[in-house]
Chains A and B, each alone.
Chain A
């Protein structure tokens, strides 16, 4: 998929020095990804909304959580569950989006580091200029904030960033639905277990 479309430009850029070549490859890759992303974005969005996708995600998440509990000695913390949830979500994206690839390579260290930073909104004359020929700095700032919120999308162009954010939001919504449903299932299972053990206890006594 992606490798096929960038194979030709790679051959052309062989003469450039290393730094420029990697930059050009990255740029071309970004453009190609943008094109592919645009084509597949609609089907991606419907994918995140389908119940089958949510079911697949739920079962994979439960499996991953059980595995992590078996292997690691430390009890499952909320943070561990969170990381696993994002990891499984990113895997479900099948590497088609930038944010999913960023999650799989970086883990979630970045998000924790930047959690405490607040964006200072400098009011004043600059943001109140009535002339809107070019994009205002305020808009640029908000775009930057958005770029920080979506993993791995800090230096993305505006259209690409919006595409990524669109897919990311749909995926997050599915994740929330799936995890809420799982929590409900586990809560009910726990209640049923308690009922069963009570009944057994009362039968024996």
Chain B
């Protein structure tokens, strides 16, 4: 099958042909989120670069969450006093 047909099937539904403009629009929207690409002008960054940086950014965020999880688990293990944690919760809610 041609690649275009398989793409349209993948996107699902009859009105599934995605225009290039739509893609460029979405990619530019994505570019706004990535801190590294935010400063550059949109016409200089290719869609491929935006996607690559997006993947890298998500991977970085995952890694940060993992590191923070490890840190929190250690802190929770040592700070076993419930009073400290209750105080934290109270301070968070206020």
Let me know if A93 is at the binding interface, CB within 8 A: no
User: Scoring B residues 53 to 67 as 1 if CB is less than 8 Å from chain A, else 0, what string do you get?
Assistant: 011011101101110
B68 CB to closest chain A CB (Å) equals 4
Closest to B70 in A: A78
A20 CB to closest chain B CB (Å) equals 13
Known: A69-B76, A81-B70, A186-B88. A158 touches B23 (CB 8 A): yes
Q: Chain B contacts of A75 at CB under 8 A?
A: 77
Instruction: Decide: A78 and B69 in contact? CB cutoff 8 A.
Output: yes
Interface residues on B, range: 35 or more
Known: A182-B72, A189-B79. A30 touches B13 (CB 8 A): yes
Closest to B71 in A: A183
Let me know if B52 is at the binding interface, CB within 8 A: yes
Instruction: Decide: A186 and B59 in contact? CB cutoff 8 A.
Output: no
Instruction: Decide: A186 and B72 in contact? CB cutoff 8 A.
Output: yes
> Could you say which of B57, B78, B92 contacts A58, with CB atoms under 8 Å apart?
B92
Instruction: Decide: A176 and B68 in contact? CB cutoff 8 A.
Output: yes
Instruction: Decide: B88 and A138 in contact? CB cutoff 8 A.
Output: no
Instruction: Decide: A168 and B58 in contact? CB cutoff 8 A.
Output: yes
Q: Chain A contacts of B10 at CB under 8 A?
A: 155, 157
Instruction: Decide: B72 and A169 in contact? CB cutoff 8 A.
Output: no
User: Scoring A residues 153 to 179 as 1 if CB is less than 8 Å from chain B, else 0, what string do you get?
Assistant: 001011110110110111011011001
Number of A-B contacts (CB under 8 A): 155
Let me know if A6 is at the binding interface, CB within 8 A: no
Interface of B is mostly: helix
Instruction: Decide: A30 and B12 in contact? CB cutoff 8 A.
Output: yes
Interface residues on A, range: 35 or more
> Could you say which of B23, B55, B62, B93 contacts A146, with CB atoms under 8 Å apart?
B55
A94 CB to closest chain B CB (Å) equals 20
Instruction: Decide: B13 and A28 in contact? CB cutoff 8 A.
Output: yes
* Complex CA distance for A189 and B89, rounded to whole angstroms: 12
A113 CB to closest chain B CB (Å) equals 14
> Could you say which of B12, B75, B85 contacts A157, with CB atoms under 8 Å apart?
B12
Known: A55-B92, A175-B65, A176-B64. A78 touches B73 (CB 8 A): yes
A161 CB to closest chain B CB (Å) equals 9
Closest to A61 in B: B72
Question: Which A positions have Cβ atoms within 8 angstroms of B?
Answer: 26-28, 30-31, 55, 58-59, 62-63, 65-66, 69, 75-82, 85-86, 111, 134-136, 138-139, 142-143, 145-146, 149-150, 155, 157-160, 162-163, 165-166, 168-170, 172-173, 175-176, 179-180, 182-183, 185-187, 189-190, 192-193
* 8 pairs, CB–CB < 8 Å, chain A vs chain B: A31-B13, A63-B89, A79-B69, A81-B69, A135-B23, A149-B59, A176-B64, A186-B72
